[in-house]
């Protein structure tokens, strides 16, 4: 499983830009407020947003999460599992390749 630390950019920090890393989820979760993990599904690769601090659904829905593959905006297609394991995202462009 790949893990992508996230850098918050843009006005108000609502744009979440993933970076490539070779660290483990344990290391990244300690050093970064947000990160993505990849999840395989029947329709292809999707990404789960994780947060160090607890978030309600209303807290993370305004975020613009960019695709680690192509850099385009992803769509939230699944709800949170816990207060720290947030929405499931997919990139429509990358699903077509």
Which regions of the chain does DSSP assign to beta strands (E)?
3-9, 15-18, 34-41, 44-51, 64-65, 75-78, 85-90
> 6-16: per-residue pLDDT in tens?
999 987 889 99
Write down the pLDDT at residue 39: 86
* DSSP 3-state of 84: coil
> 42-90: per-residue pLDDT in tens?
666 899 999 999 999 888 889 999 999 999 999 999 999 999 999 999 9
- Rounded CA-CA distance 41/20 in Å is 21
**pTM score of the predicted model:** 0.90
């Amino acid at each position: 499983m790949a893990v992508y630390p996230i850098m918050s950019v843009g006005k108000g920090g609502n744009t979440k830009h993933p970076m490539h890393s070779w660290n483990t989820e344990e290391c990244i979760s300690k050093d970064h407020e947000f990160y993505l993990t990849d999840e395989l599904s029947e329709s292809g690769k999707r990404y789960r947003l994780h947060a160090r601090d607890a978030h309600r659904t209303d807290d993370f829905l305004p975020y613009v999460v960019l695709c680690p593959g192509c850099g385009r905006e992803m769509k939230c297609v699944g709800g949170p599992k816990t207060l720290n394991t947030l929405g499931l995202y997919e990139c429509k462009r990358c699903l077509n390749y």
